[in-house]
Structure 1
Amino acid sequence: MLNYWWVTRPKRKLNSIPEVLTTFADMALDQEWQGQRNAHLSLEDALEQAGLKRVGERRDQTGGGARTYKAWVASLGLIFTQESTKQIKLTLAGEAIMAGESPVEILKNQVLKYQFPSSFSQSRGVQVSSRFKIRPFRFLLRLLSDSRLGFYLTEEEIAKVVITEAENEKEDCYLNVVDRILQFRNYGDSCLAVDFFEVYKPSKGEGSKDHPFRYLTDISNTIVNWIEYTQLAKRNDEKQLVILDDKKQEVAEILVTVPPFIDRPEQHEYFQRKFGIDPKHTKDLRNLTATKTITHKIIAEQKIKQAFITESLKSPIGKITPSLVDKITEQTGIDNQVVEETLLKLYPRGAIGSFMSEYFEMAFRGRDDATEFELATVELFKTAFDFKAEHVGPIGLTPDVLVFSDSDKYIGILDNKAYSKYTINNDHRNRMVHNYIKTYGSGQKYPLKFFGYIAGGFGNNINSQLKSIVEETEVHGAVMSVSNMIKLVENYSSNGYTHAKIKDIFTVDRQVLLSDL
């Protein structure tokens, strides 16, 4: 019995979940799983071949690695075992990811619903203590919203205090955890119980004399990675977990509404189907009892899905193009016409949302991966907004990105800054005023209508810094966080936006807010 929060972690980040899920669906969907060692070994091989699991000599030939990955996707409510057939099925959330919906939105929904007890937490080999009745990630968001804690948590505080002492969502428990975190900040390990390692025993094989807390800090690190994937919070430069500035309102709205716990965790199929409801549904009304004959067409379709989702995580796909069809044909060996027809049927609008997790991460990586961030912005303006766009940064004394609107006959210039708190320093201001705007402000095919900065986040003085450039150059501009850039991508097609709307957004002469979108 585990007397602390626990999440399975074949990988500590959720980025590869869509690929693991598609690999799993290819190998095991609609198949019986329990006791089928050959199926487990085949999935292990497939995960290794896809680069999702490290290749290495296995200690045994029982398929244990595959079962760990199966537990991972099950723990997030993406699959379940059907009681009547013992076959693996996708939940609605799993289906949504396979259909090319934004995995960030789907998994954010799943992470926020994640609870103890669950079908997974009560399963054999896990068995989290029954004293826990809590939605751990909602609880963490509440702590991160608390001024008494300075609106931050550290991984160490989560490891040594939160995951051991936060057992329910009642007010007295919450206040006790807040008080214990403050004690820990003042007194460190000396405030922990004398019998800490007896009360919170590590699971078999997770203890270490050299690093006695590692089993807890490993869990804490994974939990922080999961909450970062939701794009609601991020570790800052001091390694403190904080809610992102432009997500504070969303978090507040999440916490205002307290949904009921999902009941009957002991009934696996019932619980998983309820847990696995995606944001577009309120109930799972599917009848999954009809058996399917696995045909060559179904197998081909599954392989095409798998290849497409892998590609969609690497770069934004706004539509099905001949080059994409050729690439997937080469990868799968399936007839070009079959690939094209399948992609047009399953993903007629592409799957831009799948790339947004990677784009979000790029905005916080600093200068090392700055070029990737710039190139990704070029691709988003092309695929999501239908602009012509060029990566002009390498030319020198030029902005990173130049965008052209043939429909509205204007150009815009953008600089990407991969920082969590970007400020326009004097050097950057001078470049924008005297180089970038001067170069593109005249003598171009179309007039320059805006300049802008896209970054992970911005410093407190960003609006006044931007305004000084506007006043000196008489060119309008804006700064936009990566979170709001992602929201703009989501809104563009669904809300019928045009290039005129893009120009309006990037000419507000301040930081773009969610309300502007």
Structure 2
Amino acid sequence: MSERKVWFITRPERDPRFHAEAIRALAEATNQFTTKWQGNREAHKHFEKVLASRGLKRNNISNDGSGGRTWCAMLKTFAYCYIDHEGNVKPTKVGQSLINGIKEYENVKKQILTLQIPNAYFLESGFRPKFASAFHIRPARFLINLVQSSELDYYITKEEITYFVLIAQHDNQIKNVIKQISTFRLSNEEDKEALRQEIAVEYDHRARNDHAARDYFQAHSDVAHTFMMLCEYTGLVEYLRGEAILKIDPDLNKEAKEVISYYDERYPFNTRYLISSERMAQSNGLDVDSYKFNKFGKIMPANNQLKIKNKIESVINRIPNALELSNEELLSHFIPVFGPREGKKIVNDLIIEKPELTTIPSEFVEIYLGELTPSNFEKETLKILKAIGFNVKYQPQINGTATEIEIFVQYGEHCGIIDTKYYQSGFPLSQNLANYMGSEYIPNYLNYGNSPLTFYGYITSAKYTGEKKLQSITTLAKKLTGHHIEGFLMQREVLIGFLDFCLENNLTIEQRVHLFIKAIQNKGILHFDTQDLFI
């Protein structure tokens, strides 16, 4: 199937003024999100009925519940809800705020201005075709930035949006799109038609014929119309429907730019789609009263020189939980880069203001989930385990002799050994490796820490097999040591997603470690049970 190269948005309801009513209807239809959603066509049809009873859609209920799924898809697009690992639809913080009637306008405005491609819904397996991998754009912000351009006389037409804006894939293409639109405006009708035809054929994969441009416009102009309505809702631009123009009063342009600048600082591009669609939805679905950790957090250097600032930012973005660290702990990250003298001065000069909410820097997410060497994978994994709350030891030695185990962790009476496996094509836990863990690693490290070893695990860069071998390791180790020691397999996406959840929800070190240890049950860890934390 061809990749999607043009912006798209699910739009059973184009007007964002009714987003709050839609999520409330979903809450009612699912008995306050307790009814299983995935694969439950009766629940989907019931959602349609509730929408119809509230006057949000026509009273024509589909036979298979497709209408309900479409409305739910719209709500997922704006991160008001998501599907959890059990197939239930769950509200995000912003979705729950809308249900409770809290700051409805500001919360919907925030979701419009933080909407991005890719996002949680666009990455779901059921969304087809997928967007091209190059997409890295916030559509509403991009469109509003265009309208704010004096080169375009502070307006843009629906036709220009359809042909030139909807094909933009990156936030940094503003100048290029302005240039394309300016050229289009100065062209004669023959040249304009040639431009329309060229775009239609390249981006919509249609046959080259006399109707390609017209077909393209008919297929995508309603998406342009929907984004024009979304942008108008923010109050930053005006949609003149009769003229099919999105515009801004030049006298209000400065104020609008300040709002966009504020959003750029507070809500940078979110990379948690690399972790999972669920984690992405939870992060992108924060309400306006939750502080989103931006790429520099609230840590700012007293020295404002741009090059030094960028270098300091680079160091901080390699730390998953910088805001939790003391000056002494931060020093260990700055000294290797700046040396002891300058490193100490920089750390002492940092102005640290604790935000209401901290999360892992997006740059760290991209690094950890990107291509790494096996050695770097070990070291980045070590950082995450340390940030969770464990005391960590890298490549621990027994009697001064180096061994093959990468990481030893300890918290209170809990001690564990962790083997990292960086295999791009997936890690198969073979019987040979299982025997080695049970007969060598576990006996060797049994009494390495302050307490006997209580668990072991494998953290992998990709999918794994051999989950049943974990029990055989436990059985072998007990035979040799007399201790019952259980283990786990876990992909790196699950590990970093767990830390991100802990930071976002302000969990204590004790709570984090408790959840981690609780999940170790001789099986692969796909998610962590956090429900009892919020009861």
Using structure 2 for the length normalisation, give the TM-score.
0.48
Larger Rg: 2
